[in-house]
Amino acid sequence: MQAVSRFSKVLIVLLISLGLAYYWLLVNAGPGGIAARQIDLPALRAEADSLSGKRPTGITFAVLATRSIPSASLAAGTGLRQVTEGIVAWQIATPKGGIVVDTGLSPADAEAMGYSDYDPAAMRKVDSWMGAAEQILFTHSHIDHVGRFLDHPEFDAISPKALVTSGMLGGINALWRENGSHIAKTRNLAPIEAVAPGVVVIQTPGHTPASQMVYVRLASGREYLLTGDTASLAANFENGTPRSRLVAD
């Protein structure tokens, strides 16, 4: 009976520990009382119109890889229901060859991160986008957003097109990729700053210290906000639910 009692106590302690870990890592959304960051649309629209020239005509995307992960890892407290997470690169159509936002990653990095479904055709498409682009932007410097840029077969030719802030370069250098050391210059931006007609970069530190969003206002008047990993699921922006501690920086 004494052995059974000890076993029961150990089991109870183990279950409590697992429950606390689950709550801390996947349920609790962090300290309360922190005001949500407001997006000032009138200011973004004014900034989008501050540069002369033709605004973009459209946006397209390519999904380089997918995997299934628990919903709670992307939005704290949303449960263990499996959702499909994709590595997405974006192309903003402009008269001068387009603007690429996030470039995805290469097959080896995708495998290391648990992405079992990789699309080589999408990778080649993104490579061609970068080759033709007038600018390359990033929402942040994690490998699944900058990796294919760093591994591009013609990196020295495309790297001058990349708009990299000093904070983002620090994140890139932390990846220990040789091509990262070839980035010759950085450009720090205002809290909101137009980088092309109809395209505005917004400084949104949080997911990483140098995270950004990209606001796009097309010639048609339609508006897009490319949020990167700051908001991956509807719960992130509809309810203001952040990522869980398990995957947050």
pLDDT at 228: 84
What is the overall mean pLDDT for the chain? 85
Q: Chain centroid to CA 238: how far? A: 18
What span, in angstroms and rounded, lies between the C-alpha atoms of 1 and 46? 75
Predicted confidence band at 84 (pLDDT cuts at 50, 70, 90)?
A: confident
Q: For the chain, which residues make up each domain, given as ranges?
A: 2-28+39-238
Predicted confidence band at 45 (pLDDT cuts at 50, 70, 90)?
A: very high
pLDDT at 207: 78
Q: Is 117 helix (H, G, I), strand (E, B) or coil?
A: strand
Residue 133: closest CA among 163, 88, 113, 153: 163
Q: Is 99 helix (H, G, I), strand (E, B) or coil?
A: strand
Sheet holding 192-196, edge to edge: 192-196, 199-203, 212-217, 223-226
Q: What is the mean pLDDT of residues 137-166?
A: 95
Question: Quick one: which H or E segment has residue 129?
Answer: helix 120-132
- Greatest mean pLDDT among 43-52, 83-92, 229-238 lies in 43-52
Predicted confidence band at 88 (pLDDT cuts at 50, 70, 90)?
A: very high
pLDDT at 160: 95
Structure letter (DSSP) for residue 135: E
Helices 120-132 & 143-150 angle (0-180, nearest 10):
70
CATH topology assigned to domain 2-28+39-238:
Metallo-beta-lactamase; Chain A (3.60.15)
pLDDT at 242: 64
What span, in angstroms and rounded, lies between the C-alpha atoms of 111 and 122? 16
Please check the confidence at residue 163 and state whether its pLDDT lies above 80: yes
Is 172 in contact with 183 (CB distance < 8 Å)?
A: yes
Q: Which residue has the higher pLDDT, 23 or 40?
A: 40
pLDDT at 78: 64
